[in-house]
Amino acid sequence: MNDAMSLLGVGIYSVPEAARLTEVSANRIRRWLGGYDFKVKDGSVHKSPALWQGAIREGKELSLSFRDLIEVRFVDAFRKHGVSWEVLRLSAQRAAELFQVTHPFSAKRFRTDGKSIFADIVSESGEESLVDLFKNQYGFKKILDPYLYRGLEFSPSDDLLRWWPMGQKRKVVLDPARAFGQPIVSTGYIQTTVLASAYRAEESFERVANWFGTDARSVRDAVEFEGKLAA
């Protein structure tokens, strides 16, 4: 089986592509997935391992799968809310063991079980920021529900299938089973970059839609999506 065939249904993104789609810097993504070395006060060098396992490596190049891409979004949100690396690592480890998955934060079960996992770690670590954040269910849901889980589509068995970054009522979707996970529209499965580029040349949603066998709404959503990424 060649490399392309082995990645079917997995999705593949370069680090710059992942940075564009998640709005997380390429440097941070590399550190999270590849680990990094750092010096402590006595001058000795320590290794900080990857936060989770699952990145794709082609020689020295680091790439992300679809699950890696979604996991980046969750880790970024927790970091922005003051969750420390120590707590994130412990939470990832506990959740991975509990759910038997490689990407614990983006597992659907984390949505309901995550609060208890964090609460358990808070009691051990005394992490004040988490104590404040997870005292009530509202604080927890404020992170997970509106931004992170909205737009994620799961199978009946809780497998992550697709990400609808504009919401499931819009046309743009990232589906690891199509176009190696690149953003496409759900009508015609054309990449959003292609539609947006064609629109810049023609300035007509209808003409571009006719060219590519899709509809004007799909072109409009693709142009809006690519515009937001470029902003």
pLDDT at 133 (0 to 100): 45
pLDDT band at 87 (very low <50, low <70, confident <90, very high): confident
Q: Chain-wide mean pLDDT for the chain?
A: 83
Rounded to two decimals, the pTM is 0.83
| Cβ neighbours of residue 221 closer than 8 Å, sequence gap 6 or more | 166, 170, 171, 172, 185
Q: Mind listing the pLDDT tens digit for each residue in 181-218? A: 999 999 999 999 999 999 999 999 999 999 999 999 99
Enumerate the domain spans of the chain.
Answer: 3-163, 164-231
pLDDT at 184 (0 to 100): 98
pLDDT at 27 (0 to 100): 93
Burial class (CB in 10 A: 0-12, 13-18, 19+), 124: exposed
pLDDT band at 162 (very low <50, low <70, confident <90, very high): very high
Report helix, strand and coil shares of the chain as percent, to nearest 5.
55, 15, 35
Alpha-helix runs per DSSP H in 10-109: 15-22, 26-34, 66-80, 85-99
pLDDT band at 4 (very low <50, low <70, confident <90, very high): very low
Rounded to the nearest 10 degrees, the angle between the axes of helix 216-230 and helix 192-202 is 100
The pair of three-digit structure tokens given for residue 12, joined into one six-digit string:
């593949």
